[in-house]
Amino acid sequence: MTEGSRTGLKTITAKARKKRGPPLYNNQQHPQKMIEELQHYTLDTAKQIRRVFQASYKIEAELLKATDFPPLKRPLEAYLKCDSRFFGYTKQGQLAGVIEIGHNAEFTHVRSLVVHPHFFRQGIAKALMEFTLNSFDSSLFAVETGLKNGPASHLYKKLGFTEVEQWDTDHGVRKVKFELRKP
């Protein structure tokens, strides 16, 4: 991540930190920090988010043997205008992983969870999921992935999610939905 690109990162407030527990951050400006809310409506940040999404989804498309994979077609403008919240995990000064969240009082939807291939198998997806589970006050968390995405399915099950549904998409990918209910 370049020095100028950090302007799109928003640090979580002290009040939110107290509620959510210690932050998981690590970047050059804030060495103790790893996960930050991203200001996806700024052009530079949206470009960084899209780069991670594209690199990660290219691997997932191969894993799923998908010839038509809509996440790879998502334009930059979709990130800029999206009503989701994005949180990024930085490592070695680079945006290594991103989680996209839709949230209301009763339901938190993990719309996307991506890790750049250079940072696979380093616990980044797990850290982003745990951050989400600890940061959003919801009774229900939901996430979807391709059925053949074994690493993602394994992670969700390990975190306590239960498979609730499978279906075929119009573009030939079998998907699976997982939910986690909290009291």
14-26 confidence digits (pLDDT tens) = 333 333 333 343 4
Query: What percent of the chain has a predicted confidence (pLDDT) above 70?
Result: 82
Q: Are 35 and 127 in contact (CB under 8 A)?
A: yes
First to last CA, the chain: 39
Beta-bridge mates of residue 160: none
Place of tokens 């968390």: 141
Q: Which domains are assigned to the chain?
A: 3-181 (3.40.630.30)
Q: Write out the chain's pLDDT in tens, 183 residues.
A: 333 333 343 333 333 333 333 334 343 444 446 999 999 999 999 999 999 999 999 999 999 999 889 999 999 999 999 999 999 999 989 999 999 999 987 899 999 999 999 999 999 999 999 999 999 999 999 999 999 999 999 999 999 999 999 999 998 899 999 999 988
149-176 confidence digits (pLDDT tens) = 999 999 999 999 999 999 999 988 999 9
Q: Considering only CA atoms, which of 144, 180, 141 is closest in space to residue 161?
A: 180
Q: Considering only CA atoms, which of 9, 86, 98 is closest in space to residue 54?
A: 98
pTM, two decimals, is 0.82
Exposed, middle or buried by CB within 10 Å (0-12, 13-18, 19+), for 81? exposed
User: By three-state DSSP, how is residue 8 classified?
Assistant: helix
Q: Considering only CA atoms, which of 18, 57, 12 is closest in space to residue 30?
A: 12
Place of tokens 């975190």: 159
